[in-house]
Amino acid sequence: MIEIENVRKSFGPLEVLKGINLTVAKGEVLTVIGGSGSGKSTLLTCINGLEPIDSGRILVDGVEVHAKSTDLNKLRQKIGIVFQQWNAFPHLTVLENVMLAQVKVLKRSKQQAEAEAAKQLNHVGLGDKLSVYPSRLSGGQQQRMAIARALAMSPDYMLFDEVTSALDPQLVGEVLDTLRMLASEGMTMICVTHEMKFAREVSDRVAFFHKGVMAEIAPPEELFGAPKDPELQKFLSATH
């Protein structure tokens, strides 16, 4: 379970998270929508401790992320994150990209790591690209590789930060299909996205962020069907 309690966060004079309260249960798929600068991506990077917070607290399975005593490297093993920019490691083959952290962080043997990497890459449809360098892959393929790389760590939670935003339109579908597949398999996911159709389909709940505040959170039928917040109404009419 991920518990976010009254989290505040500023970049200089700009407060990007103004007291966020949110709980994500095991197995839930939460999508977060909102305009740019609404704080939704920042929240994700706070959840796995890549960004410090100013006040409040975030608990992952009861462990406080920003407590000094928390071993973040250990905590991050159970929280996978995939970014808008996929960040393939260019000097490693696709297979090695997915093996690296397994060997170095989880201390799996080379054989174990290789088997797991091949399994995850097959899963995201890259089974025929194992020995290829990332520079030979399309953006969509690189993004799916990044998803496999995170999944190979056997995380309990997956965070997706606008994973289709940097892709050419014709490549968005293959990545969203991968996310749909994960959701159907019961993975606990928080997806920050601009893909409204996708959010409507896969989410258990959808949260709308506006200027650092979570303005509304509801199941998709309700949030898209009968939005209450005026800003959300404006946002939806602009994006539809």
Where does this chain touch another protein (CB under 8 A) — which range of 79-87, 115-123, 171-179, 193-201?
79-87
Neighbours of 107 (CB within 10 A): 9
Asked if residue 74 binds another protein (CB under 8 A), the reply is yes
Q: 102 or 164, CB closer to another protein?
A: 102
For 108, 131, 133, 163, 220, the CA distances from 92, given in Å and listed in that order, are 18, 9, 6, 21, 40
Number of residues counted as binding another protein (CB under 8 A): 26
Comparing C-alpha atoms, which of 25, 18, 19, 22 is closest to residue 4? Answer: 22
Q: Is 68 in the site for another protein (CB under 8 A)?
A: no
Rounded to whole angstroms, how far apart are CA atoms 120 and 150? Answer: 9
Residues 33-52 binding another protein (CB under 8 A) are 48, 50
Q: How many Cα atoms within 13 Å fall on the side-chain side of residue 8?
A: 9
For the chain, where are the alpha helices, taking DSSP H only?
40-47, 72-75, 94-104, 110-123, 139-151, 169-184, 196-202, 220-225, 230-239
- From the list 101-109, 172-180, 219-227, 228-236, the region that binds another protein by CB under 8 A is 101-109
95 is written with which tokens?
């297979």
| CB-nearer residue toward another protein: 134 or 140 | 134
Closer CB to another protein, residue 66 or residue 76?
76
Site for another protein contains 22 (CB under 8 A): no
Structure tokens at 55: 């006040």
Residue 34, SS3 per DSSP: strand
Q: Which of 64, 25, 19 is nearest to 157 (CA)?
A: 25
Q: Is 133 in the site for another protein (CB under 8 A)?
A: yes
* Least Å from the CB of residue 92 to another protein: 8
Position 101 contacts another protein (CB under 8 A): yes
68-76, 164-172, 197-205, 230-238 -> range binding another protein (CB under 8 A) = 68-76
Q: How far is the CB of 142 from another protein (least distance, A)?
A: 12
Is 44:81 a contact under the CB 8 Å cutoff? Answer: yes
- State in angstroms the smallest separation of the CB of 113 from another protein: 12
Residue nearer to another protein on the CB measure, 124 or 206: 124
Residues in region 138-177 near another protein by CB under 8 A: 146, 149-150, 153
Query: Which residues form the interface with another protein (CB under 8 A)?
Result: 48, 50, 73-74, 76-77, 80-81, 83, 85, 87, 89-91, 100-101, 104-106, 133-135, 146, 149-150, 153
